[in-house]
Structure 1
Amino acid sequence: MKCFNEQLSNIKVVPVIAIKDANKAVKLAQVLSENGLPCAEVTFRTEAAVEAIKHIREAYPDMLIGAGTVLTPQQVDQAIEAGADFIVSPGFNPTTVKYCQQRDITIIPGVNNPSLVEQAMEMGLRTLKFFPAEPSGGVGMLKAMSAVYPVKFMPTGGVSPKNVKDYLALPAVIACGGTWMVPNDLIDNEQWDELAALVKQVAEVIA
């Protein structure tokens, strides 16, 4: 986990992607890698997720790839078989967590209150997704929870260019998840230059 956490903390921002066409995945991965964000959380919100992860893994074997919005053990299996490095879930589901532990793959489950943090810690987890970050109290809530619990957080949900540096300034924040640098319309329309500019802006802000 230490090595994984180091990777996340070096990347700082994880692009959260809901890709509709798996054939565009490799080009998107190229844009991310070449412009300073060699990581992607490909969410299971679309049917293209599994194939997209497979294509990215084949083309970029060293890229850090997460499978997001994973809700069931079956999706965990699909993500592992596709080549994902880690699992992200929007909430804290003990069944999914236990299954990931059985399959020996890192999971970052979503939490947004002290009770869920304690349940996650009880299962041995120390890196958690804070979701939805802004509606759940944002930076203030994270400051309060990190004063009590020895865990690291990846805030996602409402993170934007306006507040990403505020989140990353917190010692308990290992990285942030965000969608603003990978908007669906630019991916759908294959506007790679525009996407590259957005990704580069993020990389410059967090450098």
Structure 2
Amino acid sequence: MVKKLNILNRIIECGVVAVVRAESEIEAEKISAACILGGIKAIEVTLTVPGALEVIRSLKTKFKEEELILGAGSVLDSETARLAILAGAEYIVSPCFDKNTAKLCNRYQVPYMPGCMTITEIKTAMEYGADIVKLFPGNTFDPSIIKSINGPVPQASLMPTGGVNLQNADQWIKNGAVAIGIGSDLTKPAKQGNFDEVSTLASQYCSIVREARAGMVVG
């Protein structure tokens, strides 16, 4: 339990989860390294990446524990979740809620962040032990949806993913998101081989989260 809480606290402290999709293992590793260089410690390697489990194993050997919080994304079932955990994934992220995946993650005290769209789905996920619920796809909502959900369900810790960008990231945080998940808006430059730009964007997202949180404290 202590390890699980530590992972969750580190993800929330960072405030940004980099969702890594790529066409190859090498590209996925380079994107991950660029994000880490830019200050994003929470890396979610999606299992849509060819050789994703090998990427997870490799990243675990190349970065120190304090540099990286490594998760597996696009996990649809408990069998895949177990393989990811054995490969070294410290948390599991899904585009949808799956009861068996939730049970497995609870069994091994691994944080599970399922994608949900409705309050009913969020409530169910929380009942099955999801400490952070991924609001997905985020581009179907306005950032104010966080406050709307937290009104009747203030105990819900929400992380929007999909549609979060430099223009609205601060609004998601100010409305109560505990973290934000960033995919293509962060990693797009990698398609042209510009990994330095990925690092720059990662740094910008981290700064936006810090400044938004600081403004909330001051306010």
Aligned to 1:15: 18
Asked if residue 152 in structure 1 is aligned to residue 157 in structure 2, the reply is yes
Asked if residue 30 in structure 1 is aligned to residue 47 in structure 2, the reply is no
Asked if residue 114 in structure 1 is aligned to residue 119 in structure 2, the reply is yes
Please give the alpha-carbon distance, in whole angstroms, between the structure 2 residues aligned to 1:25 and 1:57: 13
Residue 75 of structure 1, aligned match among 77, 80, 90 = 80
Residue 3 of structure 1, aligned match among 6, 30, 36 = 6
Shift of the 53–188 alpha-carbon distance from structure 1 to 2, 3 Å rule, reads: farther
Following TM superposition, by how much is the alpha carbon of 1:189 offset from its aligned partner in structure 2, in angstroms? 4.3
Aligned to 2:99: 94
Aligned positions of 1:132-151 closer than 5 A: 132-135=137-140, 137-149=141-153, 150-151=155-156
Aligned to 2:135: 130
CA contact (8 A) 1:132 1:155 kept: yes
Asked if residue 176 in structure 1 is aligned to residue 163 in structure 2, the reply is no
Following TM superposition, by how much is the alpha carbon of 1:194 offset from its aligned partner in structure 2, in angstroms? 2.2
Which amino acid in structure 2 is aligned with residue 74 of structure 1?
A: E
Runs of 4+ in 1 over 4 A off after TM superposition: none
**Gapped regions of structure 2 (runs ≥ 5):** 211-219
Please give the alpha-carbon distance, in whole angstroms, between the structure 1 residues aligned to 2:7 and 2:142: 24
The Cα RMSD (Å) is 1.7
- Specify which structure has the higher proportion of helix: 2
Shift of the 165–20 alpha-carbon distance from structure 1 to 2, 3 Å rule, reads: same
Please give the alpha-carbon distance, in whole angstroms, between the structure 2 residues aligned to 1:16 and 1:56: 15
Equivalent pairs, count:
203
Residue 44 of structure 1, aligned match among 42, 47, 66 = 47
Asked if residue 195 in structure 1 is aligned to residue 176 in structure 2, the reply is no
Please give the alpha-carbon distance, in whole angstroms, between the structure 1 residues aligned to 2:28 and 2:49: 13
TM-score (ref. length: structure 2):
0.85
Asked if residue 55 in structure 1 is aligned to residue 70 in structure 2, the reply is no
Shift of the 189–134 alpha-carbon distance from structure 1 to 2, 3 Å rule, reads: closer
Residue 166 of structure 1, aligned match among 156, 166, 171 = 171
CA contact (8 A) 1:182 1:195 kept: yes
CA contact (8 A) 1:19 1:49 kept: no
Secondary structure of the corresponding residue to residue 143 of structure 1: helix
Aligned to 2:213: none
TM-score (ref. length: structure 1):
0.90
CA contact (8 A) 2:46 2:72 kept: yes
CA contact (8 A) 2:102 2:130 kept: no
